[in-house]
Structure 1
Amino acid sequence: MKRVKEYKTLFNVDADTDLKQLKSTYRNLVKEWHPDKFQDEEKKAEAEIKSQQIIDAYHFLVSIAPETKEANLEAYTLTTTTSGIADFKHKGLLLEVSFTDGTTYEYFGVNRNLYIKFVNAEKQYRFAKRNIFNSFLYRKSKKDAELA
């Protein structure tokens, strides 16, 4: 959740910002912090770091935007209802779940207590369907695994 707040603060947006406004803000920030605008090497290095943060933030915010989630809802529902859990990792408030169909989703705000209940659940997939999949902010984090 810290990363979500940090990126929203960088872009100065709130939860109901649409993709058009997000793209406009992104373009303005990229113009402002483009490394080629600066002559001083120190400022140029700072601008490179800042521009990379802006690019990362933009891609992240687009991936959790309501329009993106709505467009990908059918695929997400299919994955969470038909594919089993292949692997999972938890760090801080982030739970990363890899499914047997090769997709991976990140769930934000999953605290340690809920994670422990998930790990100790008799049927982890059933627990996740009831308590995680539709209860937390999520985004698709990795491309589908390539079938060999």
Structure 2
Amino acid sequence: MKRVNEYRKLYNVAPDTDLKQLKTTYRNLVKEWHPDKFQDETEKAAAELKSQQIIDAYHFLVSIAPETKEANLAEYTVTTTESGIADFKHKGLLLEVSFMDGTTYEYFGVNKNMYAKLVNADKPYRFAKRNIFNAYLYRKSKKDQVQD
């Protein structure tokens, strides 16, 4: 969730910001922080880092935008209802779930307590279906997107 909040703060956007507004903000930030605008080498290097952060934030925010989630809802529903869990990993507040159909989703804000319940559940898939899949902010993982 820290990364989500950090990126939203960078773009100064709300959770329900549409893709058009996100794109406009992205273009304005890229223009403002483009490395070619700076003559001093230190400023140029800082601008390059900031530009990379702006690009990463844009791709991330697009992947969790309501319009993107809505467009991919049918695929997500099929995956979470028909495909079992192949593997899952937890780090910080991020839970990464790999499904048997080859897709991977990241769930944000999953605390250690919820993860412990998932690990200790008699049927982890059933537990995740009831308590994680539709309760947390999620996005399709880049690992999976690269394979597409």
Task: Identify the TM-score tier after normalising by the shorter chain.
Answer: over 0.9
Number of residue equivalences: 147
Aligned mates of 1:145, 1:75 — CA distance in 2? 17
Structure 1 residue 146, shift from structure 2 partner: 5.0
Aligned mates of 2:137, 2:46 — CA distance in 1? 31
Match of 2:24 in 1: 24
Query: 1:26-80 CA distances to partner (integer Å, 9 max, x unpaired)?
Result: 0000000011111111011100100000000000000000000000000000110
Q: Which amino acid aligns with 2:61?
A: L
Q: Which amino acid aligns with 1:78?
A: V
Match of 1:34 in 2: 34
1:52 equivalent in alignment to 2:44: no
Q: Which amino acid aligns with 1:134?
A: N
Structure 1 residue 16, shift from structure 2 partner: 1.8
**Structure 1 portions without partners, runs of 5+:** none
Cα pair distance change 1:47/1:144, threshold 3 Å: closer
Q: Which secondary structure does the structure 2 equivalent of 1:90 belong to? A: strand
Q: Which secondary structure does the structure 2 equivalent of 1:16 belong to? A: coil
Superposed structure 1 runs of 4+ greater than 4 Å apart: 144-147
Cα pair distance change 1:31/1:110, threshold 3 Å: same
Cα pair distance change 1:18/1:129, threshold 3 Å: same
Q: Give TM-score, length-normalised by structure 1.
A: 0.96
Aligned mates of 1:144, 1:6 — CA distance in 2? 23
Q: Which amino acid aligns with 1:48?
A: E
Match of 2:13 in 1: 13
Larger fraction in helix? 2
Aligned mates of 1:85, 1:109 — CA distance in 2? 19
Cα pair distance change 1:67/1:146, threshold 3 Å: closer
Q: Which secondary structure does the structure 2 equivalent of 1:122 belong to? A: coil
Question: Percent of aligned pairs with the same residue?
Answer: 80
**Structure 2 portions without partners, runs of 5+:** none
Q: Give TM-score, length-normalised by structure 2.
A: 0.96
1:95 equivalent in alignment to 2:95: yes
Is the Cα–Cα contact under 8 Å of residues 102 and 145 in structure 1 kept in the other structure? no
Is the Cα–Cα contact under 8 Å of residues 102 and 144 in structure 1 kept in the other structure? no
Q: How does 1:1-148 map to 2 (within 5 A)?
A: 1-142=1-142, 143=144
Aligned mates of 2:127, 2:86 — CA distance in 1? 15
Structure 1 residue 144, shift from structure 2 partner: 5.3
